[in-house]
Structure 1
């Protein structure tokens, strides 16, 4: 009997291997890219002098002694990442200010010149060791832009940067990802650098041939086109690399969606910070993204065929702040609950257009919880149906589906339907799948789920289909204020009770209760709100909104600029006839003490980069600007900018001068909102 069974197994195996192999389609991932894609979620850490100077882009002229963390603990970073379910850590080994977190022989702006450990420290050594201890992958970000190095802007600098890459890739063990920022500004000599990307990549490959290179053009993985953390609802893992280059403008939409049928496999990586900025600032301790927001990001990145690189900035002690850590653990617990039980594992699975005479391809593999097995549609067929049927009705609100990408990304469109009575009702219509697509759906109860593959570039090859019932989550309150200074709070969850504060304290059930009627808050400050259910036993996250002075009696002197001071960032002032340099002049109606100003860009265009801010008592005499500079990284991260003045000023009028655009191709400035605090 044993011999007979063995013979049958060997015969079946021989027959299986004798089947014509499924032909790969189009661009394909390398083994390193496939392993990278399966990581899904890992940590970014921005850390350096900016942490201590409260800047996003340092100028390279800061005293290196400002870098002096009091209790740096890289093991705490690694432990936090591990507990959060992350698979690795990428650190800003060198940002645009040129400061090196290791004692580079090719710079005088490093930890060696800092006050930390009397110049004997090495952040990369400590972090790489911590990553090995906790079983995490180690990655590095090195900016080629160097606002400190005297050679920047000369041919010699490219070799300097290559030497720094060599140091990092030979002294700290394996590196899984090399992150290249395409930023290219002026150095200390006022010149820009012509980067030698072939030299940079060749230097790294010499020591780590399997490293994944991140940039706007890959070649390992690509920027997803924004710093919000969201891939496109259509997201191809392919682009034509020769159409892109690091630092190019006007390519965000293509990077967000990828390019159908393109020749190069360059999957997307979604980078986003857990705070409004990339570097730590004490002013953002109460602005850590809420749990629902982070869930939206997770489903909008990992759930849309991209990897998620979540930035968690280290604070001035050299540790991950408790607020960030707590939120990461909340996210981990919620994701564990969302994907706790795969309902599809107990389904009866049937398909149409099955590939004939190929035992390697079977509908059984769709629910076997193994990515390395698959079901394939018959050669030449571009559509098919997958049906999951149950003896008893199941309730689900998540559907995950994966293509077997070693054979290429193929599916162009699919739908999800459920049996409702005697007929099927469509509940989702989507486009691409790729490595993983996760749909968030309304709670749906049914005995049959049908996935219809509508169209594809080649015969679809599907690895896994899963269904889950995720617990309901309490929604975040939304805080808004009108031009007159009336604050309203709304929340979408069923029957919540909202409590709020206006003095920066944490809302509790002893705080003011929001009754549904707006309340006056005309001054500058922070309103916090929290939703409670179950008689206060369960609560959501604290939401904070920081307001400038209410523009109740303000008048825009600049013609047509009313929408720039209406208290509503959803409206924008933009005049096609107004070109750089341009001015926005505002009359506040009364003499006011001003400590700083804010500028909210329109993310759809017209983003101001360089600015000057003036004040006046009469609207005629302006004098020298009380603030002048640039909004760092505003093009990629178009969020509200707050600029504090060196000292308070008293004035009735203010003028925001837009001196230069963030995108040189866009010469018409836009102002979604402008204010003072």
Structure 2
């Protein structure tokens, strides 16, 4: 009631029912994303019981199939929200100024969120001045300009007219002469719901039709990428739809290549393999066979297995006496956002050995860490 009274147009999630969490914090939407779903926010009476009966939650793979809806008592308009941070974590740290997501990475997120029928919530943490840092601001400008430039020039050589499509219906669209495309946009008229279940896009190239892309749901917006082609026409076929699909827009575009490739984050400042892995549980390593400068460490999680959450990281010059250089002892929010973790020490350390003891994993266990998942920061 406080939010509704002070900001009536605010979009509420988690403790509201305007949008629902997609189920991860990596910037990834579902390939099949239904805004029409039996899933209901827990704030409503009997919602928990009904969701449990249907065996659905925010992280369920299926939230809107016909099979699921047949078992449901009610359905709701409850669109997906994809949340992700422009930095490795949700808060500002000065040592992460070089780790702001690249333009290429942000564009990938856009295609996999907005382009998969979801709302994008991009976290931009204020710095210690209470301002958006210059690095983040510059990247946002690049990001906005790239999206604007890409979708300003529709390569279809005609104005689009509203299309009510039944199963198997298709339409062909001329592409402007000599134009190259690598992206197709489709939108449903969501004022009339979401209905399309399967579709495909083909291009007429050298006199024959070639499949360019295919998908399942469309919803408010679906973006599909493919290799550069210069077709005379494109053909969109609605393979399956619930009654009639209401297509409000179709576009073909050229997304320019990036001037700078998004480079991989340097996770280890030490070249080559460790001198010796002394023990695997807890992971104990002779780094270089001699004392070196250590300014921090990295952990590259494997999201296909249980990940480390709470830990102790120790250093030693002789393998006998150990010290703990950092008070930080957990990888915050790693379960929902399994990205490389960078831990920087307040003071420069000298050590030959490190020991990483997992106290608790993301599923409550004590997983073993592979030596290749750990990197040492020396500068």
Query: CA 1:412/1:674 → structure 2, altered by over 3 Å: closer, same or farther?
Result: same
Work out the CA distance in 2 between the residues paired with 1:473 and 1:652.
41
Q: 2:224 aligns with which of 426, 435, 439?
A: 439
Unaligned segments of structure 2, at least 5 residues: 70-74
Deviation of the 1:334 alpha carbon: 1.5
TM-score in terms of structure 1 length: 0.48
The two structures, once aligned, show a CA RMSD in angstroms of 3.1
Deviation of the 1:412 alpha carbon: 1.6
Work out the CA distance in 2 between the residues paired with 1:297 and 1:308.
9
Q: 1:592 aligns with which of 292, 300, 318?
A: 292
Query: CA 1:433/1:253 → structure 2, altered by over 3 Å: closer, same or farther?
Result: same
Work out the CA distance in 1 between the residues paired with 2:178 and 2:340.
48
Work out the CA distance in 2 between the residues paired with 1:341 and 1:596.
47
Match of 2:145 in 1: 333
Alignment of 1:14-53 (within 5 A): none
Work out the CA distance in 2 between the residues paired with 1:252 and 1:221.
11
Q: 1:376 aligns with which of 164, 176, 192?
A: 164
Alignment of 1:141-540 (within 5 A): 166=2, 170=5, 173-177=6-10, 212-215=11-14, 219-241=17-39, 253-254=59-60, 258-261=63-66, 262=69, 263-344=75-156, 346=158, 367-368=160-161, 374-377=162-165, 381-389=166-174, 392=177, 394-476=179-261, 478-479=263-264
Alpha carbons 1:418, 1:425 under 8 Å: kept: yes
Alpha carbons 1:606, 1:670 under 8 Å: kept: no
Work out the CA distance in 1 between the residues paired with 2:147 and 2:30.
21
1:446-475 CA-partner distances (Å, limit 9, x unpaired)? 222111111223332212112223334325
Work out the CA distance in 1 between the residues paired with 2:121 and 2:40.
25
Work out the CA distance in 2 between the residues paired with 1:397 and 1:227.
27
SS in 1 for 2:282: strand
Q: Which fold has the larger relative contact order, with Cα–Cα distance below 8 Å and residues 6 or more apart in sequence?
A: 2
State whether structure 2 residue 269 is matched by structure 1 residue 548: yes
Work out the CA distance in 2 between the residues paired with 1:432 and 1:590.
57
Query: CA 1:675/1:469 → structure 2, altered by over 3 Å: closer, same or farther?
Result: closer
Query: CA 1:471/1:601 → structure 2, altered by over 3 Å: closer, same or farther?
Result: closer
Work out the CA distance in 2 between the residues paired with 1:669 and 1:552.
19
Query: CA 1:222/1:325 → structure 2, altered by over 3 Å: closer, same or farther?
Result: same
Work out the CA distance in 1 between the residues paired with 2:63 and 2:276.
44
Query: CA 1:448/1:322 → structure 2, altered by over 3 Å: closer, same or farther?
Result: same
Query: CA 1:390/1:311 → structure 2, altered by over 3 Å: closer, same or farther?
Result: closer
Alpha carbons 1:218, 1:241 under 8 Å: kept: no
Match of 1:630 in 2: 330
Deviation of the 1:625 alpha carbon: 4.4
Work out the CA distance in 1 between the residues paired with 2:42 and 2:302.
25
Unaligned segments of structure 1, at least 5 residues: 1-164, 178-211, 348-366, 369-373, 480-543, 560-581
1:247-289 CA-partner distances (Å, limit 9, x unpaired)? x9x967526x644244333211111111222111211222222
Match of 1:127 in 2: none
Alpha carbons 1:345, 1:466 under 8 Å: kept: no
How many pairs are equivalent? 357
Alpha carbons 2:316, 2:353 under 8 Å: kept: yes
Alpha carbons 1:585, 1:654 under 8 Å: kept: yes
Deviation of the 1:401 alpha carbon: 0.8
Alpha carbons 2:358, 2:366 under 8 Å: kept: no
Deviation of the 1:222 alpha carbon: 1.3
1:398-437 CA-partner distances (Å, limit 9, x unpaired)? 2111112233222221111111233211111222111111
Q: Which has the larger radius of gyration?
A: 1
Match of 1:603 in 2: 303
SS in 1 for 2:219: coil
Alpha carbons 2:299, 2:374 under 8 Å: kept: yes
Match of 1:563 in 2: none
Work out the CA distance in 1 between the residues paired with 2:207 and 2:39.
49
Match of 2:72 in 1: none
Deviation of the 1:393 alpha carbon: 5.7
SS in 1 for 2:156: helix
Alpha carbons 1:267, 1:306 under 8 Å: kept: yes
TM-score in terms of structure 2 length: 0.82
Alpha carbons 2:308, 2:366 under 8 Å: kept: no
Alpha carbons 1:614, 1:622 under 8 Å: kept: no
SS in 1 for 2:171: strand
